[in-house]
Amino acid sequence: MRFDGKRVIVTGGANGFGEAICRGFADRGARVMVTDIDGAAAQALADDLDGALSFELDVTSEEGHQELAQLMADEWGGIDIVATNAGLPHRGGYLVNLTTEQFDFMWTVNVRSVFFAAKYFTPHMPPGSSIVSTASIGGRRPRKGLTPYNASKGAVITLTKGLATELAPDIRVNCVAPVSAATGFDMNAMGKPELSERMEKMVVDGIPMGRRAVPTDVANAIMFLASDEAEFLTGVCLDVDGGRSIG
């Protein structure tokens, strides 16, 4: 999988899955626009990658997406690959205990951001381009305690399939559905930087491969779907779950 000269946007790119995605594309020859709401972290990562730039992007901002689209056109003449990776869960708990504001904000981050990316980036994407979003295996096989989050990721999967039909054959649209990983997700969902030993065991026991995902698992899947090797794949949701969705 080589991406020599390809112009890539990664949202939520400063850490976790996003950092691995940025590094993976850059290592394979792409020019990467590292975007994140933490502009300083995005800049620090871009400084560490050959040919990369950074942009402070709040994915809930329509104007931010418009500005980034124009920047890509001005600086690099267009966009070849978009990895819409930014997202977050709500604090774990039953749906009925969430506030309306928590529900709406999480959906705005996880779902409306994909809409903004498609609306403002695709006019600058030539035939053969690709969009790959980060959904979640919870969008396919939800578990209690994260119902609104899982529903938002189910919406990302549906958006992917619908966009694939609308943008074909010029632009391919796919997504990945990762299982739980030890990233910032734990802090957002549980309020702790890592799971307790008991909770870790409960999660891992449900994954046939015997471990949680790591960022490179997700990055490798996204790069495959964006690569020429996957040129006949569109509307695909690739489970990166170690078999969690089997049972």
Let me know if 120 is a catalytic residue: no
CA-wise closest residue to 41 among 83, 12, 81: 12
Contact 80, 130 (CB under 8 A): yes
CA-wise closest residue to 164 among 180, 175, 150: 175
Phi-psi region of 233 (alpha: psi -120 to 50; beta: other; left: phi over 0): beta
Contact 11, 209 (CB under 8 A): no
Which of 17, 55, 120, 149 is catalytic? The answer is 149
Contact 68, 62 (CB under 8 A): no
Q: Which residue has the tokens 């999480």?
A: 106
Q: Reading across the β-sheet that carries 171-178, which strands appear in turn?
A: 53-56, 31-36, 7-10, 81-84, 129-134, 171-178, 237-240
* Catalytic residue list: 149
